[in-house]
Structure 1
Amino acid sequence: MTNQRIKARYRLQTTGDGRRVAEVMAGEQSSGTFIAIPGESAELKERSAARVEHFSELQQAAPAPLPGAVAGELRTYEMELSWPVDNLGLSLTNLLATVAGNLFELKQVAGLKILDIDLPDAFAAAYPGPGFGVAGTRQLSGVEGRPLIGTIIKPSVGLSAAETAALVDQLCEGGIDFIKDDELQGDGYYCSFEDRARAVMEVIERHAQRSGKKVMFAFNLTGELDEMQRRHDLVESLGGTCVMLSLNSVGLTGFNAFRKHCRLPIHAHRNGWGYLGRSEQNGWSYVAWQKIWRLAGVDHMHVNGLSNKFWEPDDSVIASARACSTPMFSDKSCAVMPVFSSGQSAKQIPATYQMLQSPDFLYCAGGGIVAHPAGIAAGVRALRQSWDAARDNIALATAAQSHAELKQALETFGS
């Protein structure tokens, strides 16, 4: 038995008595239900009931209520609920049911966003956290003092294993640090996983013998658990240094089982995040969601990118990236490498560095490298030149005057 409690902070929209709705939510997610029941004694409540730790009204306009919500004047609140760890034990999977379960279904709830979660130190010992994180990734990739410059195999699908390997050959020759499968590339007819892994690693090993630097390639293992384990073992046997999983596809239980087997850095792709986090009114904040996966044991986490091709504003992207290194426990930070991607090119690197105030990030440009008018090697050089300018606090336009690859990149992808 422990006195430690799990805490979750929410933004609530409701048409009812806000404080009463908060109490209903606490009851729904612990010992209570819609009516008083004989078994819920005062002693049981004291031991197991969730508590409303904080509640305050926010003076902000509320959007339209969710379907099925009780009609009336909509008001917005911030609140914090807490639960005894003893209710569920040290289980991340049951934690999700506790902090994000039926709350979203209640008629009294016209909007609900999970803003943050706070886990007691007991969770730190129950889960492994990142196996490699920033330091391990840098050691394996041989990159220190600057961001890792990476790319995504493009076209995303349709290339054969041999064509993929030929592209990797050009990228290695051009000086890339990191390459990843697109999340759409799995084990298809035109490019089976095994054929792709063998062809790609033959190229990477050949370049490593020549240059002394092994490019990190994140192979997409996503599949059934036994498939992911077999694919991991193949990559490891071939000398690979990274694997990738689509978190929303494999789920938390699948990930936890795989993490126990895994001996390589895990590049975590968040595809599908939009249906969890895009709504300002409903769902998860990335600040809360990423904590689950960091504790479970990912090493890299996607955070979108500045001036991206998706919906997310820059301040949200940077907040997500900073959250990846925010300590989670007193003696276990669970810091991971943030991954910037989505419409990235040489033009966004200086702003990314300036806003993040750290070189500890992985910067992935797909079309921003592969579509460079002077070729793939020039695309890699343009990103390196952009980083040098950012580090030395030189304007990109000024740096471009003496670097043809950067100049072409800015002309092609916009300044």
Structure 2
Amino acid sequence: MDRITAHYLIETPYDLADAAAVLAGEQSSGTFVSVPGETEELKKRFAARVENIEVLETVENPSIPGDVYNSEFKRAKVSVSWSIGNFQDNIPTLISTLQGNLYELRQFTGLKLDDFELPTWYEGKFKGPAFGAEDTKVLADVKPGRPMIGTIIKPSIGMSPEETAKLVKDLIEAGIDFIKDDELMTSSSNSPFKKRVELIMREVNHFQQKTGKKVMYAFNISGDLDTLKKNYDTILKHKGTCAILSINSVGWSGVKEIADRGQLSIHGHRNGWGMLNRHPLLGINFPAYAKLWRLAGVDQLHVNGIRNKFWESDESVIRSIKSCSTTFLDHKKLLPVVSSGQWGGQAFDTYKFTNTTDLLYMAGGGIMAHPSGPTGGVKALKQAWEGAVNGKTLEETAKEHKEFRESVEKFGGK
């Protein structure tokens, strides 16, 4: 039968082949001891196979606690495969296999799921992103050749619906493409969800009637399944186009249940990502993570940003952006959401290293704190991206455009 192959980064004080065999056994038909019924025929059909071991470096100290019996810890890239007969189209079971008890195995002092491949048997089994990168940009009336320019409502929580709607009006008139609730904001005591949607969409729809452009506002609908459905319907009632889900909190099955409705672009916020990825040899890397959420139907997914305010390296961010557009079954490409301490200055390297404008470029302070206000901030970001795409340098673009020059003076340091 067709097989699923997963790729791991591992570290172990044991022989690499022995450690990999333990991983394969624990995550399929085996346990710590032979049991009746685990026949050769059964193992041939359902046991995991170690397909490849690529030896890397050896280190003196373990990355995480484990079964330490010597001073050498060997690292490797290991590929393991399973029959699709183990899972069929049950993705939570697949996740349990790829990321389950293997993190508990004492044989490993480091283990991270890096990526995986699914056979073509899975094509057509899942709807995947309803809009993806291209159609989400169409929903927001953003023409090809530039990214969507977006921002976040700040302060994150505490403003009334009326105050939020006033800020949204100002941002829309400034020329923004996308605005979103913060992940901390759903329905608070002073800002009930229904009231906030009603007032914000009144501004969005009014601007569309005047200009023809419908700015995309992403409302945070995160909650239990009943709340997700109720909030989703509220957005539709007021002619909204986008919903945010805190995907790590809602869970794969809840996200899929909502995304399968296919009427709103789903903005996947990955808050909690550091817990899953920050350690270099524990958790999951973005290529595998993105594929799981692509199966669930997420259209937009956070990837951090170049020279961000968090811990993630530029190399990791670039790999994440590129992985959103890799071919995966018959699914549409994801829209990478570039955010975290961004202003126009990072646009040049972002484009240089990814060569794409199919992304959502988010700036909070880079827009709100611009010397000429939000209008100047939005203009500056558009000017930066136009310069980057046309092969101009940051310095050349700053000379040509007042708003971007002000950004450089404000945010660019030396």
TM-score normalised to structure 2 length? 0.97
Residue pair 1:149, 1:176 contacting (<8 A) in 2 also? yes
For 1:325 and 1:99, the matched residues in 2 are separated by: 22
Aligned counterpart for 1:362 among listed residues 360, 363, 377:
360
Aligned residue for 1:80?
79
Deviations 1:199-228 (A, max 9, x none): 100001111111110000111111111111
1:9 aligns to what SS in structure 2?
A: strand
Q: What is the CA deviation profile of residues 268-303 of structure 1, one whole-angstrom value per residue up to 9, with x for unaligned ones?
A: 111101010111111101111110101211111110
Contact kept? 1:149, 1:363, Cα under 8 Å: yes
The alpha carbon displacement at 1:136 in A equals 1.2
Corresponding letter in the other structure for 1:71: Y
- Counterparts of 1:4-403 in structure 2 under 5 Å? 4-59=2-57, 61=59, 64-72=62-70, 73-144=72-143, 145-329=145-329, 332-403=330-401
Contact 2:253–2:296 (Cα < 8 Å) also in 1? no
Count of matched residue pairs: 411
Shift of 1:262: 4.3
Q: Percent identity?
A: 45
**Conservation of the 8 A alpha-carbon contact between 1:374 and 1:405:** yes
CA offsets, 1:372-398, max 9 Å, x none? 121111111111111121122222222
Q: Give, in angstroms, the shift of residue 307 of structure 1.
A: 0.6
Residues 96-151 of structure 1: per-residue CA shift (max 9 Å, x gap): 11111110101111110111111112222221111001221122111112101111
Residues 63 and 148 of structure 1: CA distance in aligned 2, closer, same or farther (over 3 Å): farther
Asked if the contact 2:129–2:332 (Cα under 8 Å) also holds between the matched residues in 1, the reply is yes
- Asked whether the equivalents of residues 229 and 261 of structure 1 are also in contact (C-alpha less than 8 Å), the reply is no
SS state at 2:124 partner: helix
Following TM superposition, by how much is the alpha carbon of 1:60 offset from its aligned partner in structure 2, in angstroms?
5.0
Q: Tell me how far apart the structure 2 counterparts of residues 401 and 56 of structure 1 sit (CA, whole Å).
A: 50
**1:359 to 1:62, Cα distance in 2 relative to 1, 3 A:** farther
Confirm or deny: 8 A CA contact 2:241 2:263 kept in the other structure. Answer: no
Return the offset for 1:335. Answer: 0.9
Cα distance change, pair 149–65 in 1 and its aligned pair in 2 (3 A): closer
Partner-residue secondary structure (3-state), 1:59: strand
CA shift, 1:259, in A, is 2.2
Distance 2:412 2:299 in 1: 32
Q: Note the C-alpha offset of 1:408.
A: 1.2
Measured against aligned partners, the alpha-carbon deviations of 1:315-359 in whole angstroms (never above 9, x if no partner) come to: 110100000010012xx1431111100000111111111111011
Contact 1:124 1:295 in 2 (8 A): no
Paired amino acid for 1:277: N
Quick one: distance in 1 between partners of 2:162 and 2:67?
55
Cα deviations across residues 1-45 of structure 1 (Å, max 9, x unaligned)?
xx0111101111110111011111111111111111111011111
Q: Are the aligned partners of 1:132 and 1:299 in contact in 2 as well (CA < 8 Å)?
A: yes
Mean Cα displacement is larger for which, 351-360 or 51-60?
A: 51-60
Counterpart AA for 2:110: G
Q: Report the Cα distance in structure 1 between the residues aligned to 2:26 and 2:210, rounded to whole angstroms.
A: 62
Secondary structure of the 2:172 match is helix
Aligned residues of 1:90 and 1:122 also touching (Cα < 8 A): no
- Structure 1 segments unaligned to the other structure (5+ residues): none
2: CA distance, partners of 1:229 / 1:333 = 24
CA distance 1:193–1:63, shift in 2 (3 Å): farther
Contact 2:14 2:107 in 1 (8 A): yes
- Contact 1:130–1:294 (CA under 8 A) maintained in structure 2: yes
User: Is contact 1:295–1:334 with CA below 8 Å preserved after alignment?
Assistant: no
CA distance in 1, matches of 2:83, 2:54: 22
- Classify the secondary structure of the residue corresponding to 1:125: coil
Alpha carbons of structure 1 residues 256 and 333: separation in structure 2 relative to 1, 3 Å: closer
Following superposition, which runs of at least 4 residues in structure 1 exceed 6 angstroms of deviation? Answer: none
Q: Equivalent residue of 2:289, what SS? A: helix
The residue matched to 2:113 in structure 1 has which SS?
Answer: strand
Q: Hey, what's the Cα distance between the residues in 2 that align with 1:34 and 1:344?
A: 49
* TM-score, with structure 1 as normaliser: 0.96
Change (3 A) 1:205 1:299: same
Q: Secondary structure at the match of 1:317?
A: helix
